[in-house]
Structure 1
Amino acid sequence: MPTKSRRRGSGEGAIYQRESDGRWVAVVDAGYINGKRRRFTAYAKRRKDAAERLPELKRRAKLAGQQTTSIKTVAEFLTHWMDTSVRKNRAPTTIESYQGAIVNHIVPVIGSRRLAALERMDIQRMLDAVAAKDGVGPRSVENVSAVMRKALNDAVKWSLLETNPAQHTEIAKVPQADRKALTVEQARQLLFHVADDRFEALYALAAIYGLRRGECLGLRWSDIDHEAREIHIRQQVVVVNNAPLVTPVKTKKSSRNLPLLKDIDAALDRRRERQAEERLAAGEHWIEHDLVFASMVGTPYQPANHHKRWHASLKRAGLPDVPFHSLRHTAASFLVALNVHPRIAMEILGHANIKTTMEVYSHVQQPGMRDALESVENVLRHTVSSTA
């Protein structure tokens, strides 16, 4: 049986061989951190390999000591995490989304809690509070949970915590708000009333292709390929710090090529003519961005301004006051009515996975469920009456 041998090489730290299985153990004692004794340990079959692990263990012990001197609470840790990890590696929209989750939901509930004392029940309490808020949808709760889990994963990686207390939390079910879509007749009515609007083509793109608002506002003239008769969806306009910003579309599936339809092509031609007038009126103030739906001086259009314009258009057309995103559901309902295969619908709508498409399809098909079942009932009623 191997004997337990403790040795300390020059500058190596503590290395010893374990009696139970003969493995070599490298250990660095970081002392007391937040009232708890912290040791950083690595295992290896050979003493040489254990010695090679020591520099990393020392680095982790030093980092833990440095960070805990300034990081005491959950709020302090999340500020540090955003500054050192998120802002350097994430897209602007992701940064804003994470910051919103932290400021609006996480910090108000558990921000003052000591990080070292954070437990699963604290995070569960916070998630339950988020789910109970009015106007908060299931995706918002999932986002808060994901931010907390990712942040605490880094806390474990940085040796600030031994385990991630967010790992086994549960998300309370939040009812999904009904998706509102314009009917075929309502969509016709809308396009009729916006025929003289500078955003006529934008509304048509959203109603027919199901483009997101950001994708419409990010569309460039160079994305209209007349030779191939295609529209290329490659970028979007998002809001960061209350300002419009052009970024690539979020996922690979969102980047897609759509057929250029005749009516859409004609609407885009009218938009090009109108923009030429706008460029002439702006004169030297025009800043070229090649955007189809630019501001009156060529810059990216502020989505908040379009939000107001959209609701004014609905009112003028005498239509229900629904979100602009409802046009995307309108497009999906058209695809369902025409029996378009979900895979093709997924490509048109730019969904990241077929699950999202099927959820949309199942929702859209609900109004048709009664008709289908009544048809079955009529068949059965005829059968039953004929045998009576």
Structure 2
Amino acid sequence: MSVTARQVKNKRTSDGGSTSRAGTVYDVFIRYKTAEGYKTYGKRGFLTKSEAIDHEAEMRTKLTNPGYEPIKAADAKQTVQEYLESWVEVHGKANLRPSTFSSYKSHIKNHIVPYIGNVPLKKVTPAMIDNMLKQLSEKGLSVSTCRYAQRILSVAFEAARKYRYIEGNPARDILTKFGKEAKTPDPYTVEQMQHLMALGSGNEWQMIFVLSGLYGLRRNEVLGLRWDNVDLKNRQFSITEQLPFKVPPKTTVITEMAPTKSQGRTLPITEVTLSFFQKQLSLQQKQKELSELSGQPYYDNRLVIAKANGAPMSAERVTNNFAQFLRHNDMPHIRFHDLRHSAATNMHELTGDFFTVGEILGHTLKGIGMSLGISTNMADVTARYVDVRLDRKRTVLEAYHNEMFPNEALRIAQKNLKAKDHEAR
């Protein structure tokens, strides 16, 4: 056990003085693993078991996580706002993705602090949190936003409980029941995607719709795809990086990309989509030439999707402009991310090959296994699907892309047939 009691003949006071009486003190002993092997840490003579447990919890975290800075111990005057702001900086930077970290900070600032921020940490009750959630709901915020605020508090207060800053976790004892969220928009059908592609033809949306709606790339994967990762000769491209979560306004040069959520994947460029890639490359070459002729700067970030001057597009602006684009063209409302869902749904409905669709999208193997209803056991899943070859991905993507552009697919097929006949002669 890490904390042990020990009897002493002369117990000391908190300031180090002698009590001249026998008593119990507590010692902390920790055995922890490092890259060099197992090491030990010990400290003796804590006056109370609570002090020893607090020290053991803090040191175990510090010893197993080099560079960790413990959250400042809460006192009776520390407020919820003070604790949350300290906790999110320590916890968030070490454990959360940049987008989640930013989301936590935003929700704490806007949906938690205005309601219970001034309450002393040790005096927060489930009733206070229930009342906060009620006010958020009455304000018109969605069920998911209210639930997310409760989740943040639950995680934060659980950390405070483990450090013995508070007795229990009030966010887990609330009475609020979250109702069902509004229905997620249905993904676009093939026919709706065809109409969307027609609306985007010849403008800045065309290539964006190809990558998001035909290949199912995530928004920042679309905006972070570079020509360095596109191989037109071998007709394939790789998703190994994405646009960073937060790019400062007016950024013109991207020096470093962010890693993708998945471990990277290679996708084939189908016969139907090849011309889109070629046209996009040709367009950007013309834009570069025009910039040079006019004496205007061109920022060659090698991005497949970029502004006319080569600078990266703003992810938030793409999302907002997409919503306006749909409204102006009387298209059913969907989120930008639903283009990815549309690609997944249409590929699956046309082929029934959920696993390959998952590989195209960059889903985890466990998620694919659960969706297939096979098993969450990795050995079982990998036994049936060891690898998905590029040819299989091409087959699934071609089934969808040919359905999207049947006339073009027919033209290409006839062209290839004539080429074969010519070779045979």
CA distance in structure 2 between the partners assigned to 1:301 and 1:320 by the alignment = 25
Question: How many percent of aligned residue pairs carry the same amino acid?
Answer: 23
SS in 2 for 1:351: coil
Q: Tell me if structure 2 keeps the 8 A contact 1:15–1:26.
A: no
Q: Which runs of 5+ in 1 are unaligned?
A: 19-24, 30-37, 44-51, 360-388
SS in 1 for 2:284: helix
Q: Tell me if structure 2 keeps the 8 A contact 1:187–1:207.
A: yes
Give the CA deviation at 1:105.
1.5
User: Which residue matches 2:29?
Assistant: none
Q: Indicate how the Cα distance of structure 1 residues 258 and 28 shifts in structure 2: closer, same or farther if over 3 A, else same.
A: farther
CA distance in structure 2 between the partners assigned to 1:265 and 1:151 by the alignment = 49
CA distance in structure 2 between the partners assigned to 1:64 and 1:322 by the alignment = 41
SS in 2 for 1:231: strand
Following superposition of structure 1 onto structure 2, how do residues 70-109 of structure 1 map, counting pairs within 5 Å?
A: 72-87=78-93, 90-109=96-115
User: Which residue matches 1:271?
Assistant: 280
User: Which residue matches 2:304?
Assistant: 292
Give the CA deviation at 1:292.
0.8
SS in 2 for 1:258: strand
User: Which residue matches 1:350?
Assistant: 362
Q: Tell me if structure 2 keeps the 8 A contact 1:148–1:166.
A: yes
CA distance in structure 1 between the partners assigned to 2:56 and 2:94 by the alignment = 28
Give the length in aligned residue pairs.
Answer: 330
SS in 1 for 2:188: coil
Q: Tell me whether 1:27 sits opposite 2:77 in the alignment.
A: no
Q: Tell me if structure 2 keeps the 8 A contact 1:272–1:292.
A: yes
CA distance in structure 2 between the partners assigned to 1:65 and 1:181 by the alignment = 47
Q: Tell me whether 1:341 sits opposite 2:331 in the alignment.
A: no
The amino acid of 1:325's aligned partner reads H
Q: Indicate how the Cα distance of structure 1 residues 81 and 199 shifts in structure 2: closer, same or farther if over 3 A, else same.
A: same
Q: Tell me whether 1:252 sits opposite 2:271 in the alignment.
A: no
User: Which residue matches 2:157?
Assistant: 152
CA distance in structure 2 between the partners assigned to 1:55 and 1:107 by the alignment = 26
Q: Which moved more, 1:347-356 or 1:336-345?
A: 347-356
User: Which residue matches 2:24?
Assistant: 16
Q: Indicate how the Cα distance of structure 1 residues 130 and 171 shifts in structure 2: closer, same or farther if over 3 A, else same.
A: farther
Q: Deviations over 1:260-307 (max 9, x none)?
A: 222222211111111112223334622232211112222220124324
User: Which residue matches 1:373?
Assistant: none
Match for 1:211 among 196, 206, 217? 217
User: Which residue matches 1:328?
Assistant: 340
User: Which residue matches 1:302?
Assistant: 314
CA distance in structure 1 between the partners assigned to 2:351 and 2:161 by the alignment = 50
CA distance in structure 1 between the partners assigned to 2:90 and 2:15 by the alignment = 30
Q: Deviations over 1:366-385 (max 9, x none)?
A: xxxxxxxxxxxxxxxxxxxx
Q: Indicate how the Cα distance of structure 1 residues 282 and 354 shifts in structure 2: closer, same or farther if over 3 A, else same.
A: same
CA distance in structure 1 between the partners assigned to 2:57 and 2:370 by the alignment = 51
Q: Indicate how the Cα distance of structure 1 residues 263 and 312 shifts in structure 2: closer, same or farther if over 3 A, else same.
A: farther
Q: Indicate how the Cα distance of structure 1 residues 207 and 227 shifts in structure 2: closer, same or farther if over 3 A, else same.
A: same
Q: Tell me if structure 2 keeps the 8 A contact 1:179–1:329.
A: no
SS in 2 for 1:16: strand
CA distance in structure 2 between the partners assigned to 1:116 and 1:88 by the alignment = 25
User: Which residue matches 2:270?
Assistant: 261
Match for 1:68 among 62, 65, 75? 75
Q: Which runs of 5+ in 2 are unaligned?
A: 17-21, 27-43, 63-69, 373-425
Give the CA deviation at 1:136.
2.0
Q: Deviations over 1:75-96 (max 9, x none)?
A: 1211222344434664432221
CA distance in structure 1 between the partners assigned to 2:84 and 2:248 by the alignment = 22
CA distance in structure 2 between the partners assigned to 1:327 and 1:55 by the alignment = 46
SS in 2 for 1:232: strand
**Once superposed, what is the RMSD of the aligned Cα atoms?**
4.3
Q: Which moved more, 1:100-109 or 1:143-152?
A: 143-152
Q: Indicate how the Cα distance of structure 1 residues 341 and 227 shifts in structure 2: closer, same or farther if over 3 A, else same.
A: same
Following superposition of structure 1 onto structure 2, how do residues 370-385 of structure 1 map, counting pairs within 5 Å?
A: none
Q: Which moved more, 1:317-326 or 1:195-204?
A: 317-326
User: Which residue matches 2:166?
Assistant: 161
Q: Tell me if structure 2 keeps the 8 A contact 1:198–1:274.
A: no
CA distance in structure 2 between the partners assigned to 1:328 and 1:344 by the alignment = 15
Give the CA deviation at 1:226.
4.0
Give the CA deviation at 1:145.
3.2
Following superposition of structure 1 onto structure 2, how do residues 183-202 of structure 1 map, counting pairs within 5 Å?
A: 183-202=189-208
CA distance in structure 2 between the partners assigned to 1:66 and 1:189 by the alignment = 59
CA distance in structure 2 between the partners assigned to 1:15 and 1:281 by the alignment = 86
User: Normalization by structure 2: what TM-score?
Assistant: 0.63
CA distance in structure 2 between the partners assigned to 1:173 and 1:154 by the alignment = 27
Q: Tell me if structure 2 keeps the 8 A contact 1:207–1:327.
A: yes
